[in-house]
């Protein structure tokens, strides 16, 4: 790891500002899914144990100005329970009250600041706002992988005005796993790509083209490739303006001798609904007024066959409309295979927001090597882009 990490710094007595990703679903004033909060606990506990003063900052949702609906207060309560200590909460993230509470903060205590996006300056990466945030910190730690692809004041700007910067444990884990998918992956290396649109994944395909041994393509994006190969895809989700590009990708893969495996059969439905009539059919027999909503059993077997020997797998994008039970099988079966090969020593990495919820719905999140907490961030990482929230942290 070339970035300075939390382990490299002396935190005793220091005011440690931590950018966490507490952008979690809140229902009826309670945290509905606390995965991201729990993932940040190692970093928070480390600061407490080191005698640092933890000041946590995060966004929640997309508020326009102050809005009670997007308050982080329920998170302070939830976090208090998880940590077993009372987490203090400030009604804003800058200003007099914040400075006062920070100055009264004792070693080993935790303070959560109110939603940073209540200030439009956050997303503008306003320099003065970043300086304000920096003024309450001796150390800045970025542990918000899910926001690392955004150059905002609390993820990027602030780092320029705090002397000591580091990444936290969650950020470190994310970088370590996702890097395995890009540098020196153990072979055979297989990328499973799916999800809605090929246009969302083009850069990922291009970036992985010279790294993987095989691509397994499912989900809505497979339709565009099938159409490019001349198949009827009926009313399926398809991007007609990406057909040419799909052809180029197919021929590029062939030229490089990389397996680019498309579905051979699929589950077609009469309409986009869980209650639709559905049938399994080979890809050359898709009915003109039906749509492909999942990969079929033969495709699942083909994919399994490729995956069983894989040593590294990266998965981005569900194989079908897994939100509908009738079309979740392809996605869940692939999740099962990943769990199996993980238990035999393969490194399996899941990126993408919907892919993460799919594997969670399958109950297999802890059976794969790593499920990224950042949908957009993991995608940009796999595209080979530099993430501003990571770049802002000093190297060792
Ligand atoms: P991720 O968030 O994991 O990167 P995407 O956002 O690219 O994944 O795509 C996820 C969405 O793709 C899901 O909501 C799923 O319903 C949809 N999807 C998958 N297969 C199909 C299909 N055959 N037709 C239409 N939508 C699909
Ligand atoms: Mg998505």
Q: What is the predicted pLDDT for the residue at 1? A: 75
Rg (CA), the chain: 23
Residue spans of beta strands (DSSP E) within the chain: 15-19, 26-27, 30-31, 53-57, 88-90, 110-113, 139-142, 164-167, 189-193, 214-217, 259-261, 265-269, 278-282, 291-295, 312-316, 347-351, 370-371
Topology adopted by domain 181-382: Rossmann fold (3.40.50)
| Residue 267 Cα to chain centre, angstroms | 28
Atom of ligand 1 nearest to the CA of 218: 20
| 318 CA distance to ligand 1 middle (Å) | 6
Our mutation pick for probing the ligand 1 site, out of 201, 203, 219, counting the most ligand atoms within 8 A of Cβ, is 219
Atom of ligand 1 nearest to the CA of 236: 24
Atom of ligand 1 nearest to the CA of 292: 23
Q: Give me the torsion for CA of 241, 242, 247, 252, rounded to 10°.
A: 140
Let me know: does 190 contact 216? Beta carbons within 8 Å.
yes
Q: What is the predicted pLDDT for the residue at 165? A: 98
Report the alpha-carbon distance of residue 384 to residue 366 in Å, rounded.
Answer: 26
Nearest CA to ligand 1 atom 15: 321
Report the alpha-carbon distance of residue 250 to residue 261 in Å, rounded.
Answer: 10
Q: Which ligand neighbours the alpha carbon of 314 most closely?
A: 1
Tens of each residue's pLDDT in the chain, 396 residues = 799 999 999 999 999 999 999 999 999 999 999 999 999 999 999 999 999 999 999 999 999 999 999 999 999 999 999 999 999 999 999 999 999 999 999 999 999 999 999 999 999 999 999 999 999 999 999 999 999 999 999 999 999 999 999 999 999 999 999 999 999 999 999 999 999 999 999 999 999 999 999 999 999 999 999 999 999 999 999 999 999 999 999 999 999 999 999 999 999 999 999 999 999 999 999 999 999 999 999 999 999 999 999 999 999 999 999 999 999 999 999 999 999 999 999 999 999 999 999 999 999 999 999 999 999 999 999 999 999 999 999 999
Residue spans of beta strands (DSSP E) within 235-380: 259-261, 265-269, 278-282, 291-295, 312-316, 347-351, 370-371
Let me know: does 330 contact 362? Beta carbons within 8 Å.
no
List residues bridging with 30 in a β-sheet: 27
Report the alpha-carbon distance of residue 27 to residue 14 in Å, rounded.
Answer: 35
Pairing verdict, β 278-282 and 291-295: unpaired
* Share of the chain residues as helix, strand and coil, in percent rounded to the nearest 5: 40, 20, 40
Report the alpha-carbon distance of residue 58 to residue 77 in Å, rounded.
Answer: 15
Task: Considering the chain, tell me which residue range(s) the CATH 3.40.50.1260 domain(s) occupy.
Answer: 6-172, 181-382
Active site residues: 36, 197, 353, 376
| 157 CA distance to ligand 2 middle (Å) | 27
| 133 CA distance to ligand 1 middle (Å) | 38
Our mutation pick for probing the ligand 1 site, out of 291, 296, 317, 371, counting the most ligand atoms within 8 A of Cβ, is 317
Pocket lining for ligand 1, CB < 6 angstroms = 194-196, 200, 219-220, 237, 292-293, 316-318, 320-321, 323, 352-355, 375
Our mutation pick for probing the ligand 1 site, out of 146, 314, 318, counting the most ligand atoms within 8 A of Cβ, is 318
Atom of ligand 1 nearest to the CA of 294: 23
| 90 CA distance to ligand 1 middle (Å) | 39
Report the alpha-carbon distance of residue 217 to residue 195 in Å, rounded.
Answer: 9
| 322 CA distance to ligand 1 middle (Å) | 8
Report the alpha-carbon distance of residue 295 to residue 396 in Å, rounded.
Answer: 46
Q: Reply yes or no on domain 6-172 having CATH 2.40.50.140.
A: no
Report the alpha-carbon distance of residue 299 to residue 222 in Å, rounded.
Answer: 12
Nearest of 228, 230, 222 to residue 251 by alpha carbon? 228
């Amino acid at each position: 790891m070339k970035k300075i990490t939390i382990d490299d710094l002396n935190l005793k007595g220091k005011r440690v500002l931590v950018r966490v990703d507490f952008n979690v679903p809140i229902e009826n004033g309670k945290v509905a899914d606390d995965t991201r909060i729990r993932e940040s606990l190692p970093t928070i506990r480390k600061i407490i144990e080191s005698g640092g003063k933890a000041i946590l900052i995060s966004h929640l949702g997309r508020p326009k100005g102050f809005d009670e609906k997007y308050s982080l207060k329920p998170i302070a309560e939830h976090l208090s329970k998880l940590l077993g200590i009372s987490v203090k909460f400030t009604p804003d993230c800058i200003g007099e009250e914040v400075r006062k509470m920070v100055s009264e903060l004792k070693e080993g205590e935790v303070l959560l600041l109110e939603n940073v996006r209540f200030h439009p300056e956050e997303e503008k990466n306003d320099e003065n706002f970043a300086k304000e945030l920096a003024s309450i910190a001796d150390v800045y730690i970025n542990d918000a992988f899910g926001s690392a692809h955004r150059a905002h004041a609390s993820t990027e700007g602030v780092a320029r005005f705090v002397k000591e910067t580091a990444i936290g444990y969650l950020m470190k884990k994310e970088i370590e796993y996702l890097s395995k998918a890009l540098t020196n992956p153990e072979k055979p290396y297989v990328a499973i790509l799916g999800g809605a649109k090929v246009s969302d994944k083009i850069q990922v395909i291009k970036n992985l083209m010279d790294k993987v041994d095989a691509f397994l393509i499912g989900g809505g994006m497979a339709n565009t490739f099938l159409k490019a190969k001349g198949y009827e895809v009926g009313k399926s989700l398809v991007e007609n303006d990406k057909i040419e590009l799909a052809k180029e990708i197919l021929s590029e893969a062939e030229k490089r001798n990389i397996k680019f495996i498309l579905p051979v059969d699929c589950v077609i439905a009469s309409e986009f609904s869980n209650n639709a009539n559905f049938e399994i059919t080979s890809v050359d027999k898709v009915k003109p007024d039906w749509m492909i909503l999942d990969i079929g059993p033969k495709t699942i077997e083909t994919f399994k066959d490729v995956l069983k020997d894989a040593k590294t797998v990266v998965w981005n994008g569900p194989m079908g409309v897994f939100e509908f039970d009738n079309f979740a099988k392809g996605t869940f079966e692939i999740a099962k295979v990943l769990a199996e090969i993980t238990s035999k020593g393969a490194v399996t990495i899941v990126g993408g927001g919907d892919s993460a919820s799919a594997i969670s719905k399958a109950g297999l999140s802890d059976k794969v090597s790593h499920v990224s907490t950042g949908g957009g961030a993991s995608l940009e990482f796999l595209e080979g882009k530099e993430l501003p929230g990571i770049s802002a942290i000093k190297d060792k």
